[in-house]
Amino acid sequence: MNVTWVLAWRNLWRHRRRTWLTVGAMVFSNVLLVFLISLQLGSYQMMIDSTLGAFTGHIQVQQHEYLEQQRMRQSVPAAAGLAAQLRQLEGVQAVAARAEAFALASSQERSFGILLTGVQPEYEPGVSTFPGLLAEGRYLEKSDAAEIVVGAVLARNLKVGLGDEVTFLGSGRDGSFAAAVATVVGILHSGIDEVDRSVAQLPLGYFQQVFAMGDAGHSVVIRVPKLDQVDGMVEALRSQLASREDLAVLDWDALQPGLRQAITSDMASAWLMYSVLIVLVAFSVLNTQLMSVLERTREFGVMLALGVSPQRLARLIGVETLLMATLGLVLGILLGAILTAYLGHTGFTYPGMEALNSRFNLPARIYPPLSLLSLLWGPLLVFLGALLAAVYPALRLLSLQPVAAMRAV
Amino acid sequence: MGLPWGSVATLAWRNLWRNRRRTVIMLLAIAVGVWAMVFMASLMRGMTDQMVRNGLQSLPGEVQIHHPDYRADPSVVNSMAPPAPALRAALEAAPVAAWSGRVRVPAVIASERDSRGVTLLGVDPLAEQAIGALPGELVAGRFLESADDRGLVIGAKLASRLETGLGKRVVIMSQDPNNDVADRGARVVGIYRARLQGNEDRFVYGGRTALQDMLGIEEMISEIAVTANDYRHVDQWYPQLAVAAGTELETLPWTELDGFLGTMLAVQDGLSLIIMVVIFIALSFGLVNTLVMAVFERVREIGLMQALGMRPGLIVLQIMLESLYLLCLGLLLGNLLAVATIKPLESGVDISSVASAMEMMGMGTVLYPVLASFDMLMSTAVVVILGLLASIAPAWRASRLDPVKALNKH
């Protein structure tokens, strides 16, 4: 084995306590980084999955101005037909057409303005988790039945139960007066008040009839098996629909701009903290290596006098730092993985997290998943920071004069 | 017999500067750590403050009084009579700064082109202004002139969605206490832009008396919003209002009306503290290292001092003082750095690139960091207390050296 490496290794343990303290700083930061980055990446994934899976879907085809203005007239012609056509595409998991309208919903005792959604009963369960969350009754079945499924809070507010009738007053697509009566067949309970307060779904056929929509809808929702297939599918859909200038293909980022931005802003504030940790570790390494160079001035002077080149001395310091940083890296990743795996098993939470998390469709307890990325990202940066910190002490050696150095105290 | 305290202090100070380079590096490390603590705390404080302020504006008020069933079932059926004399007296007395009785019912608003579900607010513009609940800024027309005003003020976003505008007529529909549809045509007299875009879609303002007429509820109102301009101490003053309101009505502070806001305010200081402690721990390795080294290179000297009769306690004191000097200098530098970087940012940091995400948390598009002396004091306390704790071990070890062995070392 190379003498430099043996020398470097032995030098490290001349000051056992100092080396361990420096390695300790790295390990502490690494464990923290592995855990926090795993937690972050894990919650982003959950946030995206649960937000998109609930209702939005991965991609929607809409009339090109509908997203911005949401006017009833901005509709997709022959929506169910378009959905059937897109369902044939390679790589789609589920496709369903929808329509939306605001109306005043009234029961025997109460009236509320609500957003009604017309859905295709046979396809909606493929693009949304809502149909699976029924607490009472059944989901919609026939496309032209006068039936409605409502959220639990809305049902409570309207004071309706299964079998009760709800009346709607609103305006149709052509501006005509729209009125209808539907029977409550199912009550949905998601546990999220916002959802349970707002869900009101009718079968698409019946919806089109009531609101004078003809065969039109407002969106065709598409789900793909995996999130990273969205971009490819958007391309495929755009070329498929190239001749339809009235339609726009929108990915989840356009549909839910808050989602990616929440991730971006959370990333930014987290990295402020991470950089501070990395800089502090670098300071710690800088101090240790500078001290270790200064206290060995005489020794280095002797080595120079014996014919060791200054470059080799600088390399020695480099190798010492490398060994120390590797120790910190390996121990940090190991302990970080253990901590994260443990919390990935039991779940992680802190007081107040529930309120914050529910804003982003997250459960109160998060199970951080380990991945190669979350395992290596932080520790590798700490490793690099440590190596950079050794540059200055190593460079000082290059200008060392043997005689003066040997006389140093 | 040992050295007097003053000499120990001088010794510690001089020792600190024997290895100038090491001290400077450690000083920089502490300064960076302290800067990060204060900087992050001030960002967080700015965020929370803004979230709470926006939240209080859309609630509105720091305390609200309702019919006990209103919050679960916000219907016109659960309205209440205007405040009785006892409650009115309490509302007119200190510390209450202003109050407003409002009608607040779900409704549908329809133009000739489209319709939307909204929350219809029947307000008295003067009272509304007094509690600071006027919507953002008016971009067209005027706000309501009195409680009898028969016009409507709607959000810019809603106006665009309904394809309506200033001076146009719209129809509002709601229910009256007998669950018959109560509707009325009205003219849009003003269009506002809100700080939170979601509110623009949601709130439609009308004159209170005009809406009471439409709903057929005479003098009844849905809620009383109260402010004392002191949201942090609401728990101290709202109980007396609750007593005045009586058990027939539900009186709640904002922390319970909006659980999210209450929790955010409650956990904010805790989160800042956790961040500070974590940063300090990362720092402490270097600090302990520096002290261990300082003791190590002075073993002979310490042995000599002991041999000359210096008591171990004074050696501990000397090392601890050295650490304290280092910490205090670092704190000074770090806090100065924090003030220098935060002050220019206090006029606002543009975060509109992530506006939708901020809206999810109830924030606007500008973040105003808040430099609070509390955060600076908290970081100082964390650094001094934990720093001295971390210094105990090296100092203790130094005082336990065997003078004979120490003197012979090298």
Q: What is the pLDDT of residues B298-348, one digit of tens each?
A: 888 888 888 888 888 888 888 899 999 999 999 999 999 999 998 888 887
User: Chain A: nearest CA to B254, how far in angstroms?
Assistant: 15
- Sequence-distant (6+) residues with CB within 8 A of A354 are A364, B263
Please answer whether residues A166 and A106 qualify as being in contact, where contact means their C-beta atoms are separated by less than 8 angstroms.
Answer: yes
Choose among B267, B290, B293: nearest Cβ to A351. B267
Is the pLDDT score of B1 beyond 50? no
Residue B362 identity (one-letter amino acid): G
pTM comes to 0.80
ipTM reported for the complex, 2 dp: 0.77
Distance CA A252, CA A67 (A): 12
Asked whether residue B3 carries a pLDDT value surpassing 60, the answer given is: no
Show pLDDT as tens, one digit a residue, over chain A (409 residues).
588 899 899 988 988 888 998 999 999 999 999 998 998 888 888 888 888 888 888 999 999 888 887 888 888 888 888 889 888 888 889 999 999 988 888 888 888 888 899 999 999 988 888 888 888 888 988 888 889 999 998 898 888 889 899 998 888 888 788 888 999 999 988 877 778 888 899 999 999 988 888 898 999 999 998 888 888 989 988 888 888 888 889 998 888 887 888 888 888 888 888 998 899 899 889 988 888 888 888 899 999 999 888 899 999 999 999 999 999 999 999 999 999 999 888 888 776 667 667 666 677 777 888 888 889 999 999 999 999 999 999 988 888 888 888 887 6
Could you check whether the bond before residue B60 is cis, i.e. omega within 30 degrees of 0?
yes
Whether residue B83 is found in the same domain as residue B26: no
What are the DSSP E strand ranges found in A192-317?
A: 200-203, 219-223, 247-251
pLDDT digits (tens, 9 = 90+) for A58-117: 999 999 888 887 888 888 888 888 889 888 888 889 999 999 988 888 888 888 888 899
Same-domain pairing of B153 and B248:
yes
Q: CA–CA separation, B227 vs A328, rounded Å?
A: 55
Contact A29 B160 (CB under 8 A): no
Least CB–CB distance from B26: residue in A169, A287, A358: A287
- Find chain A residues with C-beta within 8 A of B281's C-beta: 28
CA B64 centroid distance within chain: 20
Q: Domain ends where: B217, B235, B253?
A: B253
User: Which amino acid would we find at residue A407?
Assistant: R
- Domain's final residue, options B232, B253, B274: B253
Average pLDDT over residues B278-288: 88
Q: Which of residues 80-109 of B touch A (CB under 8 A)?
A: 106-109
Q: Could A284 and B29 be called an inter-chain contact, meaning their C-beta atoms sit closer than 8 Å?
A: yes
Pair type for strands A200-203 and A111-119: parallel
pLDDT digits (tens, 9 = 90+) for B71-97: 878 888 888 888 888 888 888 887 888
Instruction: Give the angle subtended at the CA of B123 by the CAs of B120 and B124, to the nearest 5°.
Output: 165
Confidence (pLDDT) at A359: 66
Are B348 and B401 in a shared domain?
yes
Of A18, A71, A294, the CB nearest to B292: A18
Same domain (yes/no): B165, B294: no
Q: Check residue A23 and give its pLDDT.
A: 93
Residue B170, φ and ψ in degrees, nearest 5: -130, 165
Q: Both B307 and B185 in a single domain? A: no
Helix (H, G, I), strand (E, B) or coil at B224: strand
Instruction: Give the pLDDT of residue A384.
Output: 95
Give B236-266 as a DSSP string.
Answer: HHHHHHHHHH-TTSEEEEHHHHSHHHHHHHH
Rounded Cα gap, residues B68 and B79, in angstroms: 10
Total Cβ atoms within 10 A of residue A213: 24
- For B374-379, what is the mean pLDDT? 89
Partner-chain contact A360 B360, CB within 8 Å: yes
Domain hosting residue B70, numbered range: 61-253
CA distances from B346 to A304, B31, B352 (A): 55, 21, 16
- The residue with greater pLDDT, B363 or B399, is B399
What percent of chain B clears pLDDT 70, i.e. is strictly above it? 96
CB A168 within 8 A of CB A179: yes
Q: Which of B253, B275, B305 is the last residue of a domain?
A: B253
**Domain check: are B360 and B230 in the same one?**
no
| CB-CB neighbors (< 8 A) of A288 in chain B | 289
H helix intervals, B343-372: 355-360
Cβ-based neighbours of A309, under 8 Å, separated by 6 or more: none
**Token pair 């698409």 is at which residue?**
A204
Q: Flag if B117 and A102 touch (Cβ within 8 Å).
A: yes
Three-state DSSP state, A203 = strand
Statement to judge: residues B28 and B90 lie in one domain: no
pLDDT for A55: 86
In whole angstroms, what is the distance from residue A306 CA to residue A293 CA? 18
The torsion angle over the Cα atoms of residues A370, A376, A377 and A383, rounded to 10 degrees, is 150
**pLDDT in the model for residue A361:** 65
**Token digits of residue A56:** 């939005």
Comparison of pLDDT for B362 and A123, the residue scoring more: A123
Q: How many domains does chain B have?
A: 2
Quote the percentage of chain B above a pLDDT of 90: 14
Give the residue among B288, B306, B316, B307 at the shortest CA–CA distance from B8: B316
Per-residue model confidence as pLDDT tens digits over B154-192: 998 888 888 888 888 999 988 888 878 888 899 999 999
Given an 8 Å threshold on Cβ–Cβ distance, is B174 in contact with A111?
Answer: yes
Residues B145, B106 share a domain: yes
